[in-house]
């Protein structure tokens, strides 16, 4: 897995400043006031920092933006990054500062002079997440870049050091998700994905891999039908964390289509290479389970991921096929490229039958329609329970992970009516993300609070986001971890 740098909170050492290598960062408020560290840096730079803070260029900066003063005289550092901050470093502002510094850092050393600022755990996490780079399949020196240190010089390091484990738990979970989503499908096969998830048993998770024979015995024929055209075997991985008492667990269910050709309803060639990310939901669930295990969450959480590959083959399912789900409903297959909901429906039913969860959240890169509706800024949120949904939306907002609630309603069920089976799995182009959610809701028991997250637009992006370079974002790990902390732990 990509190395995650552990941040170090240390006491301010004015005498060490001149010899620090890599990049050093100064946080400066409106008006250019300087703390002790900034005054020492300014003296070593023979007044250059003060001149910049008095300049129009600094005045024009927005909060969280920075200017780099390269190869400063009097310092061994390659640059001084001057970041403008407001009167208070709120969690949101701290994340913005950290992201700015992470983007500038690359993989080298960085020392942040943070003094007595607040929310430095959020700053450190954002810096680490924005520094992420996926190099597993590069060659030469690019394959193993030197990972520098992240140091925060503060007035009271003893106040921040206990939070480092929490920062690392979230950073490791997000990084695992990103690595999984970024991995190519010839490497991250269903078997390899199951193996990587199984490694989490070393952190105290109970892991079980249900193979095709077990899935057939359970009646998961909707899931099995998706993968029957692939040489890569289908499976369901169950990850259990028992950190709570006797209460029912929160269940997380992820779509894990390691590659999606569309099957017999094959996708156009242009852009098909992006379908390595169609296991994004399973990636998030796996990352969350790593995070809750690392921080030893006082909650019961179970993660279930359905791993399949959707390929065209003489054995592949066809449009017009009718399959029977684990629940017992018959479904008419209209388009084999709408495979994710067929994976999820069986795993959702199994999760409820086996674990009797207090609530269930599923995640899937499910529909292009959700991307058309919400772009790449927000995931689509569908729910049958207002309070559960509000709790998630609050958690997502606190973590600045875009999420927008979408409607559900029985009127949409008309689009799923079938003359040959109990219902069909596709309702046509109108309201495509909603009808997909309506389909999944048929597999949620009446008394189970449920949230469906369509992450097709946010799991993997073409441009850098606030906390991630282009590519896999790890969206959802932070929000779900916060949801667990705020609603499940005691």
Q: Are residues 258 and 125 in the same domain?
A: no
Q: Are residues 85 and 135 in the same domain?
A: yes
Q: Are residues 340 and 448 in the same domain?
A: yes
Q: Total domain count for the chain?
A: 2
List own/partner pairs for 38-44 with CB under 8 A and 24 or more apart.
38/113, 40/14, 41/17, 41/75, 41/80, 41/113, 44/17, 44/18, 44/72, 44/74, 44/75
Pairwise CA distance, residues 209 & 27, whole Å: 49
Concatenating the DSSP letter of every residue in 31-90 gives T----HHHHHHHHHTTTHHHHHHTSHHHHTPPTT-EEEEES-TT-SSSEEEEEEE-SS--
Q: Are residues 131 and 227 in the same domain?
A: no
Q: Are residues 390 and 447 in the same domain?
A: yes
Handedness of CA 53, 57, 59, 61 (dihedral sign): negative
**What is the DSSP secondary structure assignment for residue 267, as one 8-state letter?**
P
Q: Are residues 188 and 116 in the same domain?
A: no
> Is 278 within a domain?
yes
Q: Are residues 275 and 393 in the same domain?
A: yes
The CATH code of the domain that includes 294 is 3.40.630.10
Handedness of CA 215, 218, 222, 223 (dihedral sign): negative
What the block records as the tokens of 288 is 């969350």
Neighbours of 134 (CB within 10 A): 16
Task: Please identify every stretch of the chain with a pLDDT value under 50, giving residue numbers as ranges.
Answer: none
pLDDT at site 142: 67
Last residue of a domain, one of 155, 190, 213: 155
What the block records as the tokens of 438 is 């309506």
Neighbours of 375 (CB within 10 A): 11
Q: Are residues 476 and 342 in the same domain?
A: yes
Cα–chain center distance at 469:
13
Please give the residue range of the domain that contains residue 236: 168-487
pLDDT at site 33: 85
Pairwise CA distance, residues 371 & 456, whole Å: 6
Last residue of a domain, one of 155, 183, 203: 155
Pairwise CA distance, residues 286 & 104, whole Å: 29
Contact status, residue 225 vs residue 469, Cβ threshold 8 Å: no
Q: Are residues 319 and 218 in the same domain?
A: yes
pLDDT at site 147: 81
Last residue of a domain, one of 90, 124, 155: 155
> Is 3 within a domain?
no
Residue 341 bears catalytic tag: yes
Q: Which of 341, 424, 442, 482 is catalytic?
A: 341
Helix crossing, 280-294 with 477-487: angle to 10°?
A: 50
Q: Are residues 229 and 150 in the same domain?
A: no
Concatenating the DSSP letter of every residue in 189-218 gives -HHHHHHHHHGGGGGT-EEEEE-HHHHHHH
Residue 290 bears catalytic tag: no
The 10s digit of each residue's pLDDT in 137-164 is 998 766 666 789 999 999 999 999 999 9
Concatenating the DSSP letter of every residue in 172-190 gives HHHHHHHHHHHS-TTTS-H
Q: Which of 6, 39, 267, 394 is catalytic?
A: 267
The CATH code of the domain that includes 101 is 3.40.220.10
Q: Are residues 301 and 185 in the same domain?
A: yes
What Rg do the C-alpha atoms of the chain give, in angstroms? 24
> Is 430 within a domain?
yes
Pairwise CA distance, residues 335 & 317, whole Å: 10
Q: Are residues 236 and 316 in the same domain?
A: yes
The 10s digit of each residue's pLDDT in 68-90 is 999 999 999 999 999 999 999 99
Pairwise CA distance, residues 173 & 168, whole Å: 8
């Amino acid at each position: 897995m990509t190395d995650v740098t552990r941040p170090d909170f240390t006491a301010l050492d004015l005498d060490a400043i001149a010899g620090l290598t890599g990049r050093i960062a100064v946080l400066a408020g409106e008006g250019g006031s300087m703390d002790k560290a900034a005054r020492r840096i300014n003296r070593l730079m023979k007044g250059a920092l003060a001149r910049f803070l008095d300049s129009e260029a600094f005045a024009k900066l927005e909060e969280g933006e920075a200017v780099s003063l390269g190869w400063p005289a009097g310092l061994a550092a390659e640059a001084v990054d001057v970041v403008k901050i407001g009167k208070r470093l709120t969690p949101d502002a701290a994340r913005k500062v950290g992201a700015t510094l992470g983007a500038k850092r690359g993989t080298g050393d960085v020392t942040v002079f943070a003094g007595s600022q607040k929310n430095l755990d959020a700053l450190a996490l954002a810096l680490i997440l924005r520094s992420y780079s996926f190099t597993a399949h590069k060659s030469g020196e690019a394959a193993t870049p030197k990972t520098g240190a992240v140091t925060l010089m503060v007035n009271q390091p003893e106040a921040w050091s206990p939070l480092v484990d929490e920062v690392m738990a979230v950073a490791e979970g997000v990084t695992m998700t990103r690595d999984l989503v970024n991995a190519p499908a010839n490497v991250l096969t269903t078997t390899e994905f199951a193996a990587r998830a199984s490694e989490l048993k070393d952190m105290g998770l109970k892991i079980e891999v249900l193979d095709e024979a077990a899935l057939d015995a359970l009646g998961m024929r909707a899931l099995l039908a998706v993968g029957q055209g692939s040489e890569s075997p289908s499976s369901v991985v169950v990850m259990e964390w028992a950190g709570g008492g006797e209460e029912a667990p929160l269940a997380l269910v992820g779509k894990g289509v390691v590659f999606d050709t569309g099957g017999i309803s094959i996708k156009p060639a242009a852009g098909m290479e992006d379908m390595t990310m169609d296991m994004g939901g399973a990636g998030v669930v796996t990352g969350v389970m790593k995070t809750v295990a690392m921080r030893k969450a006082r909650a019961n959480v179970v993660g279930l991921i359905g791993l399949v590959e959707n390929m065209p083959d003489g054995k592949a399912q066809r449009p017009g096929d009718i399959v029977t789900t684990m629940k017992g409903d018959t479904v008419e297959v209209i388009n084999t490229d709408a495979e994710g909901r067929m994976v999820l429906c069986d795993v959702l039913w199994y999760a409820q039958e086996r674990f009797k969860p207090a609530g269930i959240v599923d995640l899937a890169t499910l529909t292009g329609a959700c991307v058309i509706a919400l772009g790449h800024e927000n995931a689509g949120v569908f729910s049958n329970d207002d309070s559960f949904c509000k709790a998630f939306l609050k958690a997502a907002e606190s973590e600045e992970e875009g999420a927008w609630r979408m409607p559900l309603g029985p009127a949409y069920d008309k689009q799923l009516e079938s003359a040959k089976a109990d219902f069909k799995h596709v309702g046509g182009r109108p309201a495509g993300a909603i009808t997909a959610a309506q389909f999944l809701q048929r597999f949620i028991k009446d008394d189970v609070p449920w949230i469906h997250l369509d992450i097709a637009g946010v799991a993997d992006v073409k441009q850098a986001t606030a906390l991630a370079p282009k590519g896999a974002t790890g969206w959802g790990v932070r929000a779900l971890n916060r949801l667990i902390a705020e609603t499940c732990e005691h």
